[in-house]
Amino acid sequence: MTRILPLLALLGPFAASGALAQEPAAAKPTETFQAPVKNAKGDTIGTIAIRDGANSLVLRVAIQPGGLPPGWHGMHFHAVGDCSDPKFLNSKAHVNHDQSKHGLLNPDGPDEGDLPNLYANQDGSANAEVTSETPLTGEGGLKDGDGSALIVHANEDDHTSQPIGGAGDRVACAVIK
């Protein structure tokens, strides 16, 4: 035993450097972000939590009871991190860097802002976790110069029609900046 241990100690560094040489560039560290979700009156109705890691951005949405009308709601990343007006029009259109068509089910889509629908329960609460290929930071990231916003719409997104899948008014907003 006493002879084997020093031998392993000697081999250890070589084995480790050999493994590292085959790895791709260092994996992107996971970045996190949290923000309140506000309704048209400016009241906080929930939170968003984002984790952006090596393979995907993971968005968790948690809406309190009474926060939303029951049923399905379109949900998108909009281009500007501004929730200051009651209709949330300051958040502008969907994040869309390459003139893609809107819609997760559109053959000419999706744009970078498109996300699955959010379902609110009978009590108006909602919890969901969805992924997006749009990064939090860096090229094309949500935290660009003017930020971005997560918008929840009054109606569900059909994921096909232009410009926003028939999702209607904007009813909730979270600044991502």
- Residue ranges in contact with Cu ion by CB under 5 A: 76, 151
Question: Which residues have a Cβ under 8 Å from the Cβ of 123 and sit 6 or more positions away?
Answer: 65, 66, 70
Question: Which residues have a Cβ under 8 Å from the Cβ of 14 and sit 6 or more positions away?
Answer: none
Residue 11 or 105: the one with the smaller Cβ distance to Cu ion is 105
Strand partners, 73: 118
Binding partner of 175, given Cu ion, Zn ion, none, CB within 5-8 angstroms per partner class: none
Residue 61 or 151: the one with the smaller Cβ distance to Cu ion is 151
- 143 is a site residue for Zn ion (CB under 5 A): no
Least distance in angstroms from the C-beta of 48 to Cu ion:
14
- Residue of 82, 111, 112, 144 that binds Zn ion (CB under 5 A): 111
| Residue 83 zone, left/alpha/beta (φ > 0; ψ -120 to 50; rest) | alpha
Least distance in angstroms from the C-beta of 9 to Zn ion:
57
- 102 is a site residue for Zn ion (CB under 5 A): yes
Report which secondary-structure segment, H or E, holds 91: none
Distances (CA, A) of 16 to 28, 125, 165: 20, 49, 51
Least distance in angstroms from the C-beta of 134 to Zn ion:
11
Question: Which residues have a Cβ under 8 Å from the Cβ of 114 and sit 6 or more positions away?
Answer: 76, 94, 102, 103, 104, 157, 159
Binding partner of 102, given Cu ion, Zn ion, none, CB within 5-8 angstroms per partner class: Zn ion
Binding partner of 114, given Cu ion, Zn ion, none, CB within 5-8 angstroms per partner class: Zn ion
Integer Cα distance of 132 and 174 in angstroms: 16
- The sign of the CA dihedral 122, 124, 125, 128 is positive
Binding partner of 81, given Cu ion, Zn ion, none, CB within 5-8 angstroms per partner class: none
Residue 76 or 143: the one with the smaller Cβ distance to Cu ion is 76
- 114 is a site residue for Zn ion (CB under 5 A): yes
- 38 is a site residue for Zn ion (CB under 5 A): no
Binding interface with Zn ion (CB under 5 A): 94, 102, 111, 113-114
